[in-house]
Amino acid sequence: MPQVFPKTSIILSSSFISGLIALTLCESAYIAEIHRGGLNSVPEAQIEAGKALGIKPLGIKTLIVIPQAIRIALPTLSNEFITIVKLTSLVSVISLTEILLVGQRLYTQNFLVLETMLAVAFYYVLIVTIFGYLIQKFENLIDINLRKPNMLKEGELLPGISTDKKLENYKEIIYEKKGDYALEAENIHKSYGSHEVLKGIDLKVKWGEVVSIIGPSGSGKTTFIRTLNGLESLNKGTVNLMGNPFLKDQILTHSSKPFKNQIIHIGMVFQNFNLFPHKTVLENVMLAPQYHKIHDKGINQLTAIAMLDKVGMKLHAKKYPHQLSGGQKQRVAIARALAMEPSIILFDEPTSALDPELVNEVLKVMAQLAEEGMTMIIVTHEMNFAFEVSDRIIFMENGHIIEQGKPSELRLSNNERFNKFINNK
């Protein structure tokens, strides 16, 4: 290097700096690849959950992706760090005084080559062992699978709050009803390449209305509700939220200001829960309200516990998602959506990933929300639930709405395809 750039000779004349630069250049590519692997290992569903909560890209990275990526990459990083410790012996070739060079100088004086090198090896083993032990302790510290949180005690809320009476004040979701409809979707088109999934869907949802969308797999149900909150981009169409423009063609997208300002008013519950595994149940529910500063931390925590109590999960507030059953996870996901005090909630097949025994506990919570007047759009295969709870049922197939109406009307429907689908179910 000094021969090409003479001025670098001043810096590189130091053996320490030369060795540091050499090791950095050698190892940085490996470490960068480990970090990249950790980041790519975080499921896309985690990012989608953050988007659905209105968290911006930087917030998603810092609050959701990076904490999980560190836990994934840490074991591999630990091995690489230990390798770096061993590789420091290579700097002896540039006369940097380190353990190996000291050993070489000693055995040239005492001629005890084997004994001296064994002593050097012992020091390396000792350093690596201590370093490995400290890294292992750190891994255990951040490993949520090793944590054994207690159940939240009855009446336990916040310091200074010891009764559940005050909790009732935070269970009611208050939102302002603007416009004639909670949500309007007009002429929604969505394609993946040459395959057209949605072929001009129109939907208007009144305040307090429960709309269930049913249909065979591949009919476009999930794609449709994912276009309503920007998780899927529109090829063509308009979505208005509370009477205001929300999404439109390629003009108003998830990057547009109207979308960013209003996304907090539309909640979503995913098929596979999409809870954040590195956070407790309470932290999952509080994350978005804290990020958006809906209220101060105390009120946000009270609201979160109230919503958990609403879905029957308050006592599990200190647990982590991996310690819950599928039905419990989905109820926490509902509480997370409710904590944002949304005007409308989208449910994407909320019971399809559950065992039959766990389905009813989730459906019971959704039925309760319907009774309270929550505006909901539900994609479901639970026919009995749809006909019992819904104000309107929509039947989709091949990207079209084939039939829709009140449950009482659809029981008398003459649509042959609809009746065949219902009877098969």
- What mean pLDDT is reported for the chain? 86
- Residue 99's pLDDT is 62
Higher pLDDT, 94 or 66: 66
pLDDT at position 173 over 80? no
User: Which structure tokens are listed for 266?
Assistant: 């539309």
- Residue 166's pLDDT is 64
The gap between the terminal CA atoms of the chain, to the nearest Å, is: 75
Higher pLDDT, 141 or 357: 141
DSSP assignment of 178-194 equals: -SS-SEEEEEEEEEETT
* CB-based contacts of 388, cutoff 8 Å, min separation 6: 367, 407
Q: What does the pLDDT average to over 109-136?
A: 79
pLDDT tier at 92, thresholds 50, 70, 90? low
- Give me the sign of the Cα torsion angle 127, 132, 133, 139: positive
Among 52, 22, 112, 94, which Cα is nearest to 265's? Answer: 52
What is the signed CA dihedral for 280, 286, 291, 297, rounded to 10 degrees?
-120
User: Which structure tokens are listed for 83?
Assistant: 């390798």
DSSP state, residue 353: T
pTM to 2 decimals?
Answer: 0.85
If you search the block for the tokens 């007047």, which residue do you land on? 373
In DSSP terms, which residues pair with 213 in a beta bridge?
379, 394
* CB-based contacts of 124, cutoff 8 Å, min separation 6: 85, 86, 89, 99
Contact 268, 346 (CB under 8 A): yes
- Give me the sign of the Cα torsion angle 220, 226, 231, 235: positive
- Residue 196's pLDDT is 94
pLDDT tier at 94, thresholds 50, 70, 90? very low
Contact 223, 197 (CB under 8 A): yes
User: Which structure tokens are listed for 393?
Assistant: 């049922």
- The string of pLDDT tens digits covering residues 314-343 is 999 999 999 999 999 999 999 999 999 999
Separation of alpha carbons 242 and 265, rounded Å: 9
Separation of alpha carbons 294 and 136, rounded Å: 39
pLDDT at position 347 over 70? yes
If you search the block for the tokens 């097949």, which residue do you land on? 349
CB neighbours of residue 135 within 10 Å: 17
Residue ranges in 293-371 assigned as alpha helix (H):
297-310, 326-338, 356-371
Separation of alpha carbons 258 and 131, rounded Å: 51
Angle of helix 66-87 versus helix 15-41 axis, rounded to 10:
150
pLDDT at position 163 over 60? no
pLDDT tier at 369, thresholds 50, 70, 90? very high
Contact 306, 171 (CB under 8 A): yes
Residue 133 identity (one-letter amino acid)? Y
- The string of pLDDT tens digits covering residues 203-215 is 999 999 999 999 9
Contact 152, 315 (CB under 8 A): yes
Separation of alpha carbons 311 and 334, rounded Å: 8
